[in-house]
Structure 1
Amino acid sequence: MQLVQALLLLALALAGSHVSAFPPYKTLVAPITKDTTTSLYTTTLNFHENYLVDLGAPFSWYSCQYKHPPVTCKAAPCMSARSYLSPLCPPSSSSSNNRCQNCITTPVNPLTKTCALSDLTYKNVALYVTNGGHPTSSITLNDIYMSCAPGYLLKSLPSGTTGLASLSWASLALSTQLTPPHLGITKKFAMCLPSVSNGKGTLFFGNGPYLFRSPALVDVSRYLSYTPLVKNPKSSDYYIGLNGISVAGKAVRFPRNAFSIDSFGRGGTKLSTVLPYTVLRSDVYDAFVREFKMATRHIPQARKVKPFDYCLKSSAIASTRVGLQVPQISLQVASGKDWTIYGANSMKQVSKDVACLAFVDGGKAAEQAVAIGSYQMEDNFLVFDLAQSTLGFSSSLLGYATTCTNFDFTVKP
């Protein structure tokens, strides 16, 4: 199986990702925008097309024109795309190679779980080139493989969205196709989700530096700790090993093997940009919230607000540079480091005087033990090094006097 995947990746590298100018290019960059209505994030490709940011989808898709270049069924990109056929779609009548002409894929809307049988195609993608501090020019990468999708697949996505941008492990994800080896771009991407809708976050492809105003320019990669990325054979999502969770420095007691992945691919800890808040399986959630309640018992409670179960009177809580002054939450990752969650990422202000613990009970049958949602990733700088299979994480940039919106997108040759 590994040999087949390696051959597919080689064939894809040779087949696509041509560029309209000459290398070298070390880093590409695109802006990320937060949609407050949906709590989802889009990135801008081709300077005006907005794509939903999805860390888990096996391939990208967009609402393409009636006429689009087809991909044959026996082409390597088709083999890769069809290794992720969604069970949410009806079987394709072209499943047999004897009857297949154009490659049929199964793009899925991750919010509505709607699926459609659609053609695999390819298009050109333009992005900015950056020196780490600002864009210096732009380039166009040719023959980037995506699936077509009908317009109804855009339902529940931010207004004006063109499609979905996959940043997963999969060989057809943008995180692979936009880092082609022949351009000298390292197989790595960095993501910084903005916490506000009136500023641009950042999506880098390739090595740093990653320079943000703080107020002087600082390379935020200096703040990173690292932990291994874990591959779940049943998923194209990113997982990390989690040893435990502590609240105010006190370890929460969980059932044995609470964070392990079973033989069916269930359990574990994944990262998701399409979940607005971190979702915990009930056994993990109950123990965690119980400990957080103990640590905040001196703060007056407020009536709970859906989807949250535990809310406090925010007027009784001091405010700091990293948000409301509530007990720190630490995710103790497999490398032995702590991913620290401060008030800005743990408490959601839902009204003038009410803030809620921004973690959600996923139920006893939740697919993962922990699914880290986008609210917990806002203003955190994350580097997904696919070549080294590591995740770099900064914890909140607010503690370093900067945010995800402090990259300068002014083009300066």
Structure 2
Amino acid sequence: MNILKPRAAMFFHDRMGDQCDSAAYLIHTPAQRHNCDASPHLSFDDELQPSSVVFPIVKDLSTLQYITTILRGSPLAPIKLVADLGGPLIWLDCASGFVSSSRRVIPHQSIQCSRAGVGAPRDLGAKACDVFPENGKTGLAKRGVLVEDTIALRSTDGSKSDPLITTVDRFLFSYAPALLLQGLAGGARGMSGLGRGPKRQSLTLKQPSLFIYTPLMGSSQDYSINVKSMKIGGNKLPLDVVGATKLSAIVPYTTTESSIYATFTEAYKSAAASRNMTTVVPVAPFGIRFSSRGVDESLLPVIDLVLQSEMVKWRIHGSNSMVRVSQRVMCSGFLDGGPGLTNSIL
């Protein structure tokens, strides 16, 4: 499901910003000395010891993708990337023409290469480390090479209101063919993979005056949570098991398996009718469409995703589950993903 749609702020030991067209990723990172065998994850000099790295993001309105800008190379130059919550690493278009004096291709037989996950070495003089970056939007993966270079990010040590600029030397990322840019927002030159590491095992939902934790499922790079049941307007939906719910910054709307969607649609329409909401003819891709005339959005049905117990739930306030398509019409942001959807909810 789209992680920036619900109004609850979220923390993956990475905190999500407010749910609007611009927000920020905050990645809480242990301070550690950077060394030559570092993995692709962030690390910092002991002197700096930032507690978080901040990725400001904005929504591209044509693709509904979230864009972040980082500085990289020597000299430092800005580059726009599409945020991919489940991506294993940052990858950039190798045909951009940018030349950095601090860039170094990682050799195949190296600790960095073994930690990144590789394929067979290519017949290059440097025997470059092959990786296979993937476009999280299209699912296309192509052979690329692992490189290291300098990047600069905003960071905070928790004592200052304004983030600082932290420079990270020898940061690992992938160069990829320009073909992988297909389907990405205009101006983006790659993707910023923020996939979970082995120590990232829980997600925090921020409720008023309360923090609630739920465990993450599986061992992949993706962020998935176990949704036991759903409620609309406080009424539990007659679903046996909802199951794995994958969180995504790439999929623009919450997508559910067909049987779940059918039950959800019937219950939501019933709750909306009790609030005197009028349905209108749906238009793809939306299956539930309402007239917004005279509707108090603060009274729209609340959707609860119930997690490990009735006390632990992710609440999606009514107005934040809707997509306003015109001044007169709004649609439910829940879509039918078909019977073969890998995750019950995406």
> TM-score surpassing 0.5?
yes
**In the alignment, residue 128 of structure 2 is paired with which amino acid?**
N
Cα distance in 2, alignment partners of residues 26 and 45 from structure 1: 18
Which residue matches 2:303? 329
CA contact 1:269–1:369 (8 Å) conserved in 2: yes
Alignment match of 1:103 (pick from 129, 132, 154): 129
Cα distance in 2, alignment partners of residues 13 and 170 from structure 1: 19
**In the alignment, residue 325 of structure 2 is paired with which amino acid?**
V
CA 239–19 in structure 1, closer or farther in 2 if over 3 Å, else same: closer
Taking every aligned residue pair, what percent have the same amino acid on both sides?
25
Which residue matches 1:15? 37
The answer to whether 1:257 aligns with 2:231 is no
Cα distance in 1, alignment partners of residues 154 and 207 from structure 2: 20
Which residue matches 1:230? 216
CA contact 1:94–1:100 (8 Å) conserved in 2: no
CA 350–69 in structure 1, closer or farther in 2 if over 3 Å, else same: same
CA contact 1:20–1:140 (8 Å) conserved in 2: no
Which residue matches 2:193? 166
Residue 134 of structure 1 aligns to a residue in which SS?
A: coil
1:349-379 CA distance string (max 9 Å, x none): 11121111111111111010011xxxxxxxx
The answer to whether 1:78 aligns with 2:56 is no
Alignment match of 1:292 (pick from 252, 263, 268): 268
CA 118–11 in structure 1, closer or farther in 2 if over 3 Å, else same: farther
CA 14–243 in structure 1, closer or farther in 2 if over 3 Å, else same: farther
Cα distance in 1, alignment partners of residues 34 and 267 from structure 2: 49
**In the alignment, residue 296 of structure 2 is paired with which amino acid?**
A
Offset, 1:309: 0.5
CA contact 1:124–1:141 (8 Å) conserved in 2: yes
**In the alignment, residue 111 of structure 2 is paired with which amino acid?**
A
Cα distance in 2, alignment partners of residues 223 and 155 from structure 1: 43
CA contact 1:104–1:118 (8 Å) conserved in 2: yes
The answer to whether 1:302 aligns with 2:280 is yes
**In the alignment, residue 221 of structure 2 is paired with which amino acid?**
S
CA contact 2:152–2:167 (8 Å) conserved in 1: yes
Which residue matches 2:332? 357
The answer to whether 1:27 aligns with 2:52 is yes
Alignment match of 1:344 (pick from 319, 322, 326): 319
Offset, 1:140: 0.4
In structure 2, list runs of 5 or more residues that go unmatched: 1-31, 72-76
Cα distance in 2, alignment partners of residues 149 and 363 from structure 1: 32
Cα distance in 2, alignment partners of residues 188 and 144 from structure 1: 24
Residue 293 of structure 2 aligns to a residue in which SS?
A: helix
Residue 308 of structure 1 aligns to a residue in which SS?
A: coil
CA 78–326 in structure 1, closer or farther in 2 if over 3 Å, else same: same
Which residue matches 2:84? 54
- Structure-2-length-normalised TM-score: 0.76
CA contact 1:18–1:142 (8 Å) conserved in 2: no
CA contact 1:279–1:359 (8 Å) conserved in 2: yes
Cα distance in 2, alignment partners of residues 240 and 305 from structure 1: 30
Which residue matches 1:153? 180
Residue 249 of structure 2 aligns to a residue in which SS?
A: coil
Offset, 1:306: 1.5
Residue 316 of structure 1 aligns to a residue in which SS?
A: coil
- Structure-1-length-normalised TM-score: 0.64
Offset, 1:283: 1.4
CA 362–132 in structure 1, closer or farther in 2 if over 3 Å, else same: farther
* Number of equivalent positions: 297
Offset, 1:101: 2.1
**In the alignment, residue 267 of structure 2 is paired with which amino acid?**
E
CA contact 1:128–1:135 (8 Å) conserved in 2: no
In structure 1, list runs of 5 or more residues that go unmatched: 1-9, 84-91, 177-186, 193-219, 260-267, 372-413
Offset, 1:37: 0.9
The answer to whether 1:311 aligns with 2:336 is no
Which residue matches 2:248? 272
